[in-house]
Amino acid sequence: MKQHKSKSQGLAYKRLPRRALILGGLQAAFVGGLAARMRFMQVDQADEYRLLAEENRINIRLIPPTRGRIYDRNGQIIGQNSQSYRIVIVREDAGDIDKVIAKLSDLIPLTQDEIERAKAEMRRSAPFLPVTLADQVTWEDISKVAVNAPALPGVTPEVGMAREYPRYEDFAHVVGYVGPVSDYDLSQIEDPEPVLRIPRFQIGKVGLEAKQEISLRGKAGAKRVEVNATGRVMRELDRQEGETGADLQLSVDADLQQYAQARLAGESAAAVVIDCETGDIRAISSAPSFDPNLFVRGISVADYRTLTQDKYRPLANKTVQGTYPPGSTFKMVTALAALEAGVIGPGNTVYCPGHLKVGSRRFHCWKRGGHGTVDLGLSLKRSCDVYYYDVALRTGIDNISEMARKLGLGVRHDIPMSAVAAGLAPNQEWKRRVHGEEWLVGDTANASIGQGFMLASPLQLAVMTARIATGRAVSPRLVRSVDGVEQPTGAGEPLEINPYNLDQIRKAMFSVSNDRRGTAYRSRIIEDEFRMAGKTGTSQVRNITKAERAAGVIRNEDLPWERRDHALFVSFAPYDNPKYAIAVVVEHGGGGSKAAAPVARDIMLQALYNGTPPLDAYPVADRERIKEQQKRLEGDRRPKARPDEKDRA
Amino acid sequence: MSYLEYAVKSTPSGFRKFLYMNWPLTLLLISTASAGFLMLYSVAGGSWLPWAEPQMERFGLGLTVMFIIALVPIWFWRNMSVVAYLGSIALLIFVELFGTIGMGAQRWIDLGFMRLQPSEVMKVTLVMLLAAYYDWLPSYKTSRPLWVVIPVILILVPTFMVLRQPDLGTSILLLAAGGGLMFLAGVHWAYFAAVIAAVVGLIATVFNSRGTEWQLLKDYQFRRIDTFLDPSTDPLGAGYHITQSKIALGSGGWNGRGFMQGTQSRLNFLPEKHTDFIFTTLAEEFGFVGGITLLTLYGLILIFCLVTALSTKDRFSSLVTLGIALNFFLFFAVNMSMVMGLAPVVGVPLPMVSYGGSAMLVLMAAFGIVQSAHIHRPR
């Protein structure tokens, strides 16, 4: 009965197989769809997804390259990489970070700044990544941390490389320093290399370090590592070593540089010694200087303020960046221009009454009474101004300016240092362009004695002297070799100047230093082999008013420092066979013969003898004083090098 | 409605029942589960712990449960339908009040040796109850409104309870399975057409209201729906899992990267790699071939269920078998669509393969009913 009923259910019962097949069909269609989708993803698009999987899995980690070292010409180290210790903390191992840091700061000095920075970094980065807590940690502090390791979970000392400048102040302006890449640095570089984005990666900030950054930096290596989804490294797949940066050898002699730096100490001054044969810069000192190591570590605000507020401007590189009116040291240029232009000959004379009326203005000679009748030799030896006013007016500023450029003034020399100044050797066209005014004869008179618009850096003055000494277009060379590859020398082609005229000038410069009435006679070298030829210069930094002149010129010593004259001296030696040319500028030092010439002579002798010169080379009267000075400078120099550095040297 | 209506004499009894079981289905289930053990071994980095071994133990338990259920005559299970349904409802209430919170939802009852998800049980008991209902209901009443409303209520009550947990995936499955069963039972297609039209109309209305002054949902709700429907708009949040899952699947290629060589799962790029996303590991390591093989196994299971359902003259047996098959289908269809980026991410495991106790046990119990229907079918 029931069975019958069940059979007679009829419509709905008959529907069941049909509906089951419809539903089954739908399911089959869906399964087919899934299969098709699977085929599309796994067969048609497999390569694409495979690539994505690889990208997921493989991370490229950069291996920072070792920076190239910097040597002096004799192989003494100027810039190197030394081991530095830092303390890192791994968040996931540390557990309670605050507690660990508190314990750590009981052991070693940690600034609140460092702690805050580290904490901020830890919040940002993955828990297993080490975060630097303290950098440049001393060995003692590292030992303390190591001994207490069990109490400091997650804290480990690490060894890294840090730039070190074992010559301290001596090369601060030449080599500069390195520092961590800043956002500003990155914004300045187009398409920066990925290695620059490594946190705390150090690049050259100033000086040679910055200018030769690319060759010093080297090439970053890379390792391919497999990472998991959280970025933790599972294993290293392969590794491609980078290239160490190129080692640079400078033309500078570190010992001479050190001497020059010590000799200039106490003044705001600059000295440049150039090898006349090769253009090698043997010494390029700017005083006062600073310790570049401070900047590598991150200079404190107080230290930095001390440096910036010093009126002697220790951060400024006076050798290439500082430009000064060359004063009487420019007279060789004026004289050469006149000789080349045929305006004067050796026999021509000018009468100097102590002044010359140019236009409506009276131009004074430094000597009130005048020099009387003056020829070329006498004009240089006694540094007569009127002679040059007169000769320059006949030669014309454009000829003088052209000669200045020929001798390396008013042009930017290509050496890898920061802020190399071009100086200024003006002509008529320049004044029209820049000042929008006509060139006046008074301007020519000013320019003839290296005043007015004329500006030159100590480097340019040294180049000028070397060119006069050799007659060749000597150009300065700072980097002698890169990774052992000798760089082209700066010997230069012969200048298009009549050798006879050049000889005239040299002779006159010789008399400046060696004639009893020469302005630099007191700072001569008496060793015959090494006779020096030079020229003093005293450049005004203010105008002398008529009233002042009438009242008698005020002596430099009575003026406040910043209003005193700049003292300059340029020279080359030996006279017969020029080896070195030197330029010394002592800011607000007073007279060139008094403040600059002795310094130049001392440095020159040091260079010529390649070490401390014998007292015989000095004039008899000076020997006692020089002896004391030598002793004092030795004393000054010694504590600069650390004991272990001394051994290496 | 008693067992007398069957030709009992032709029904096997005692241990002979084993011979009359649907053995191909049993073997298919064992194969599928074995694929699961293999994958669980692989995702654990080549270790039987922590997943593969407990899973095997549970499968052993599940197999036992299936055999026991299979040996019990099918009419007993029909008679138990109402009790089972009410029991499931009770469990849902219990879990609502005392359940353990996991993944932000109240889902489990901790039994000590396993965690029971009442919503899983509900899937089977709902199908049983509806099958029994349509077995009892005279055919001519099937499409009458009153008799349509009753099963709708029976479906909606557990659906809303599960939705409250909240477990959107399971509630959709409940709704789909219930609806599917009503369709199989022969309810007039016009009802389905009406419901589908109403739902489509509602969705269209809601979406069209966006940006107008009579907007029906808040902006953030729309944004949530957007992310839900298209996770790629949020590649590091909701979309991260699905993106990684697609990468794993696609990178498997034709043959896969080899057993235990899947980088995506090995390196933890895959989320939930031992549960909801286990299929991606399989597809990554065994490629298209492996994926299709599993899909074929599933397909065969469906086919054997369909054959069982159509070969029995008992209406309850047919309906309950088809309902369980439909449930099974919905399980893997939703899971696979999800990992292939075809459907939004809802927490639905891959049947027989994903790690998880209660889902597997409930499924095995359900297949026990299918087996029972097969053994005790009127001949």
Scan for tokens 């030598």, then name that residue: A630
Q: Are strands A372-374 and A479-482 parallel, antiparallel or unpaired?
A: unpaired
Query: Cβ contact (<8 Å) for A57 and B4?
Result: no
Distance CA A571, CA A576 (A): 13
Q: Looking at the DSSP assignment, which residues form a beta bridge with residue A248?
A: A70, A482
For an interface test with A, which of B184, B251, B301, B331 has the most A Cβ atoms less than 10 Å from its Cβ? B251
In this structure, are residues A428 and A185 in contact, taking their beta carbons and an 8 Å threshold? no
Distance CA A144, CA A87 (A): 11
**Per CB distance under 8 Å, which residues of A are interface residues toward B?**
2-3, 6, 9-13, 15-17, 19-20, 23-24, 27-28, 30-31, 34-35, 37-39, 41-43, 45-46, 48-50, 52-54, 56-57, 226-230, 234
pLDDT tens for each residue of A565-589: 999 999 999 999 999 999 999 999 8
Q: Which of B22, B26, B33, B25 is nearest to B294 (CA)?
A: B33
Tell me how close the Cα of A141 comes to any Cα of chain B, in angstroms.
39
pLDDT score of A640: 45
Q: Where are the domains of chain A?
A: 61-250, 254-303+320-648
Residue A215 token pair: 């060759």
- Radius of gyration of chain A measured on its C-alpha atoms: 37
The verdict on B267 touching A (C-beta cutoff 8 Å) is: yes
pLDDT score of A182: 80
Distance CA B224, CA B261 (A): 36
Mean pLDDT by 10 residues, chain A (649 residues): 43 74 93 92 86 75 86 93 83 81 85 81 73 80 83 80 89 91 79 73 90 88 74 74 89 93 91 95 93 85 89 92 93 94 86 89 88 91 92 93 94 92 92 91 92 94 96 94 90 91 94 91 90 92 71 74 90 94 93 91 93 89 87 66 37
In this structure, are residues B335 and B350 in contact, taking their beta carbons and an 8 Å threshold? yes
Contacting residues for A326 by C-beta, under 8 A, at least 6 apart? A409, A450, A454, A455, A456, A461, A537, A539, A568
In this structure, are residues A497 and A340 in contact, taking their beta carbons and an 8 Å threshold? yes
Scan for tokens 């620059």, then name that residue: A196
pLDDT score of A648: 34
In this structure, are residues A449 and A366 in contact, taking their beta carbons and an 8 Å threshold? no
Distance CA A464, CA A456 (A): 10
Q: Which of A318, A306, A304 is nearest to A267 (CA)?
A: A318
Give burial (CB, 10 Å; 0-12/13-18/19+) of A97.
middle
Tell me how close the Cα of A90 comes to any Cα of chain B, in angstroms.
22
Q: Which of B363, B323, B369, B367 is nearest to B72 (CA)?
A: B369
CATH code assigned to A254-303+320-648 = 3.40.710.10
Q: What DSSP string runs through A585-625?
A: EETT---IIIIIHHHHHHHHHHHHHTSSPPGGGS-GGGHHH
Distance CA A599, CA A586 (A): 9
Amino acid at B319: L
Distance CA B260, CA B249 (A): 14
Residue of chain B minimizing CA distance to A47: B251
pLDDT score of A12: 56
HEC sequence for A54-97: HHHHEEEEEECCCCCCEECCCCCEEEEEEEEEEEEEEHHHHCCH
Residue A114 token pair: 């460092």
pLDDT score of B232: 66
pLDDT score of A4: 40
Give burial (CB, 10 Å; 0-12/13-18/19+) of A531.
middle
User: Catalytic: which of A328, A383, A401, A457?
Assistant: A328
Residue A285 annotated among the catalytic residues of the structure: no
Torsion of the alpha carbons at B291, B297, B299 and B304, rounded to the nearest 10: 180
Helices then strands (H, E): number in chain A? 26, 21
pLDDT score of B105: 57
Where do the H-state alpha helices sit in A497-592? 499-514, 546-551
Scan for tokens 């004329």, then name that residue: A454
ipTM of the shown complex: 0.90
Distance CA B280, CA B42 (A): 12
Q: Which CATH topology does A61-250 take?
A: Penicillin-binding protein 2a (Domain 2) (3.90.1310)
pLDDT score of B56: 92
pLDDT score of B233: 66
Q: Which of A49, A229, A58 is nearest to B241 (CA)?
A: A229
In this structure, are residues A175 and A208 in contact, taking their beta carbons and an 8 Å threshold? yes
Residue B318 token pair: 């047919």
DSSP B6: S
Q: Nearest by CB to A27, which of B247, B313, B329?
A: B329
pTM of the prediction?
Answer: 0.64
Judging contacts by C-beta atoms under 8 Å, the chain B residues touching residue A45 are: 250
Judging contacts by C-beta atoms under 8 Å, the chain B residues touching residue A40 are: none
Distance CA A258, CA A260 (A): 5
Query: Cβ contact (<8 Å) for B310 and A17?
Result: yes
Kindly give the parts of chain B with pLDDT less than 70: 1-11, 99-107, 112-113, 231-239, 267, 271, 379
pLDDT score of A241: 80
Distance CA A618, CA A368 (A): 32
Q: Which of B318, B314, B346 is nearest to B330 (CA)?
A: B346
Query: Cβ contact (<8 Å) for A10 and B140?
Result: yes
Query: Cβ contact (<8 Å) for B269 and A229?
Result: yes
Cβ atoms < 10 Å from Cβ of A196? 16
pLDDT score of A644: 39
Judging contacts by C-beta atoms under 8 Å, the chain A residues touching residue B302 are: 24, 27, 31
